Amino acid sequence: MAQPPDSAKRVLIVYKSHDARADRLARDISAYLADRGAEGKLLCYGDVEFNRTGHWDLAISVGGDGTFLFTARLLLDLNVPILPIHMGTFGYITEISGDEWLSALPSCLEGDFNLSRRSVLQAVHYRGEKEVARHIAINDAVVSCGTISRMIRLTLEVDGRMLADFRGDGLILATPTGSTAYSMAAGGPIVHPEMEALILTPICPFSLNFRPIVLDRNENISVKIGENRQKSLLLTIDGQVVTPLESGDRIVCEPTDLSVPVITSRRRSFLDVVQSKLGWAGGPDA
């Protein structure tokens, strides 16, 4: 249970402006907040010019999982609880549907909600000894080739020990929250979202022996790009931020104390969502 403020007065509403349903719902929520004497600030998904100064009691993402991921990265170090409302095509992270917002929001405004702390992945991009960039991933960091049907060579080290030297389409470094995204589609395991773990899932490895592995997220993990003829090597963060890579570059996973405070549904558990949305084990009626 979160330690509530007296009542949420400033609420950030992030929504997809080009989605008519999300646009309408975001404005309905803003009007609802105004009637209660609270401020509902509307922010379009993808607006990176947003001024983060000032205090926010609550954030609401209106859209799919992508809208939530954008909101989480935007507010990451501000420790603002996020209420994800599902308006997308699937919505695994966004457990609360667009039809449930009116029953969920009043208690959230009073600080009465279930809060799930989600660990994140800090991926540091090195070229030689120079740090090129630092990225925070809520779901995953993916090293891959931008060209279809082209393999790349990668070397994986854990705590200074060479764990794998392989060729394939790439490697997914996933958080527990991201275990049900690209990693799962590539054959990775489903991991409870509140675990302190990191999932390494190869993408179509040219080997029968390299399989996904779950590691402690505090281990020193390094992925080095081998000599490759391809020019379109990429690091992709949460499917939204893309950075070009070169042969010899390294991606190092460094520990971080940052986490994402996510408000979860009281109507369904993690396993309920896995069964109903992913059809795991045939669902509850199998």
pLDDT of residue 91: 56
Nearest to 252 by CA among 163, 121, 161, 145: 121
Query: All domains of the chain, ordered by start, with CATH?
Result: 10-119+259-282 (3.40.50.10330), 121-254 (2.60.200.30)
Nearest to 96 by CA among 64, 58, 56: 64
Which whole-number Å values give the CA distances from 42 to 15, 39, 110, in the listed order?
8, 10, 20
Q: Report strand pairing: 39-44 vs 10-15.
A: parallel
pLDDT of residue 265: 74
Q: Residues 263, 81: contact at Cβ < 8 Å?
A: yes
Res 5 pLDDT > 50: no
Average pLDDT along the chain: 87
Query: Mean of the pLDDT values across residues 2-23?
Result: 80
Helix (H) or strand (E) holding 106: helix 101-109
Residue 250: count other Cβ atoms within 10 Å of its Cβ: 18
Q: Residues 83, 14: contact at Cβ < 8 Å?
A: no
pLDDT of residue 89: 57
pLDDT of residue 92: 58
Strand spans (E) along 27-160: 39-44, 58-63, 82-86, 96-97, 114-119, 121-127, 130-137, 140-145, 152-158
Q: Which residue has the higher pLDDT, 3 or 203?
A: 203
Res 3 pLDDT > 60: no
Q: Which residue has the higher pLDDT, 210 or 123?
A: 123
Phi then psi for residue 275, to 5 deg, are -70, -45
Work out the pLDDT band at 51, boundaries 50, 70, 90.
Answer: confident
Distance between CA atoms of residues 123 and 255, nearest Å? 9
155-166 pLDDT tens trace = 999 999 999 898
The answer to which of 18-22, 209-213, 227-231 has the lowest mean pLDDT is 227-231
Q: Which of 57, 65, 140, 249 is catalytic?
A: 65
Residue 19 catalytic? no
